[in-house]
Amino acid sequence: MTNGNETDVSKKLITTDSLAFTNPFVRSLFFVLSKKWVGEGFSLEFLPRTEWVKKQNSFREIDEKGNEKLFIPEDVESEELIHILETSGKPKDERTTRRSIESPKNELASFLFQKGIQRLVQKMPIDSLPRYVKNSLIHWKEGQTTLCEAFNIAQLKKELNDVKKTGDVRKITDKEIEIADKIQMIVREYPFLTDSQHPAEMVENKSINCRGASILGGALLSEIGISYLVGDVPKHSILVLVLTNDTIEWRDMVAPAFNEFLGNDVIRGYSKTGASLSINDVLAYAKEPTPDGFMLDIAGDGYRTKLPWVKNGQRQFLTVFPPKLGSQMQILNGVAFFLAELGHKECDTGKRNDYFNQAVEACKLSTAYFPKYEYAYNTMGEALCELSRYEEAIDSFQQSATINQWNTTCHYGLGKANFALGRKNEALLSYRRFVELADPDTEGYWIGKARETINLILKDTKSRNT
């Protein structure tokens, strides 16, 4: 089975658009993440293994135009291919070999994410931006076609470095804010499209969504040298700027009106030692981040103003991740959601199940990276339900509920999976909890479905008792 169009297997030169993988997760990652951008100037040439071995360390060639070619043995297994993509060579020792086999999916994902962010920065077009933005914020009248060219990243990076050389903390911070404001004003003006949540789609559709805005804005900040964290909040994505003067700022890249410096007066939570959390804890995490992320709560009504779908009484949390891992989380969960959506739209049972299986694999990788990311467990649970793997779905939804008991999706999922298994008492409790927490304005349809099942359970119970 191939990722794209039918492939002439007799050809030696094969692009990533037409690679055939037996591993469906590897295939889906290439299809969803790399189809549009790794294929440009990047190809694989398959050789008999004896010829491949003779090449020794020359597994990668780059021509004068910058086109990149990797040489791969014809009988390559997926784990070995992933290692070659990651290291451009065969394992040097047993430890390296073992590591590449133990975490092949993680290595492939890291490779693709890195390529994707690079391609996004280099290739994001500007023709979908309004003319007033192009006239006031970027240079485009000399034939520039991409944001990288028109935004003049190299010049902005030089300007920031020149200010940093002065050692003046206030001037450096002011310059960081000035550049961040400019990036935000540009990014927010791209057309908003719900499905534009990973680099390939953003470049192709010339559009963004909230995840895409954070990915694009964060990539530009990174290129220029401005520190930030990726912020995960309920059903949304933001950035948290970490400025030179040791302040942190909430940055919603699609809503500049909600920019806000976060102070100790709104930060809530406790450290492992029992001490109250403060800005200093966030700054310390930014210097020495971990894959688990750093969770805190934000007090005040301003949180619900920024995120109006969060109901009064629900947890007002913010979890921050380092840029690279945070972007991977955003993209990976976008991939899982995308695959699940394809499964829902597919009529052919075999293809439908294939999509849902791939979505489960993507979620497993996401939870391996980010074990406390509730939405990945929800997406995985929903896909498992579609595959009638209800026991596994219950485990996934319970993991989500453990992380955040206010999360409505996990309660609905627990009700659905338990009902399918005939556990009507457990289903009743979960559905009632969902109805109690759900927002009628945004989840009215599912509240209705939950109440239908509740009434069915109660009617069945009554008939058996009479």
Among 63-77, 89-103, 137-151, 401-415, the range of highest mean pLDDT: 401-415
pLDDT at 359 over 70: yes
How do the domains of the chain map onto residue ranges? 13-119, 124-321, 348-465
Tokens describing residue 412 = 């609905």
- Looking at the chain, the whole-number percentage of residues with pLDDT higher than 90 is 37
| Long-range pairs, 135-138, Cβ under 8 A, ≥24 | 137/182, 137/185, 137/186, 138/186
Higher pLDDT, 143 or 321: 321
Identify the residue with better confidence: 330 or 72: 330
For 207-226, what is each residue's pLDDT tens digit? 888 888 998 999 999 999 99
Q: At residue 19, does pLDDT exceed 60?
A: no
What integer is the mean pLDDT of 166-182?
96
Residue 1 has a CB neighbour count (10 Å cut-off) of 9
pLDDT greater at residue 197 or residue 13: 197
More confident residue, 94 or 30: 30
Residue-wise pLDDT tens digits, 237-281: 899 999 999 999 999 999 999 999 999 999 988 777 778 899 999
- pLDDT of 89 above 80: no
Least confident range from 26-30, 189-193, 227-231, 351-355: namely 26-30
* Predicted model pTM: 0.68
Mean pLDDT throughout 420-431? 96
pLDDT at 146: 87
Q: Minimal CA–CA distance to 410: which of 441, 439, 379? A: 379
Beta carbons within 10 angstroms of residue 57's beta carbon:
9
CATH topology of domain 348-465: 1.25.40
Q: Are strands 260-262 and 267-268 parallel, antiparallel or unpaired?
A: unpaired
Distance from C-alpha of 304 to C-alpha of 147, rounded to nearest angstrom:
33
How far is 254 from 139, CA to CA, in rounded Å?
22
Q: Is the dihedral of CA 288, 199, 45, 69 positive or negative?
A: negative
Q: Return the structure tokens found at 342.
A: 């394809």
Type of residue at 166: T
Mean pLDDT, residues 165-169 = 96
Residue 60 pLDDT > 90: no
- Token pair belonging to 307: 């995120």
Predicted confidence at residue 346, as pLDDT, reads 87
Quick one: pLDDT band at residue 158, thresholds 50, 70, 90? very high
Q: What is the pLDDT of residue 188?
A: 92
> Any idea what DSSP says for residue 314?
S
Q: Is the pLDDT of residue 54 over 80?
A: no
Mean pLDDT of the chain: 79
Q: What is the mean pLDDT of residues 311-330?
A: 82
The pLDDT of residue 292 is: 75
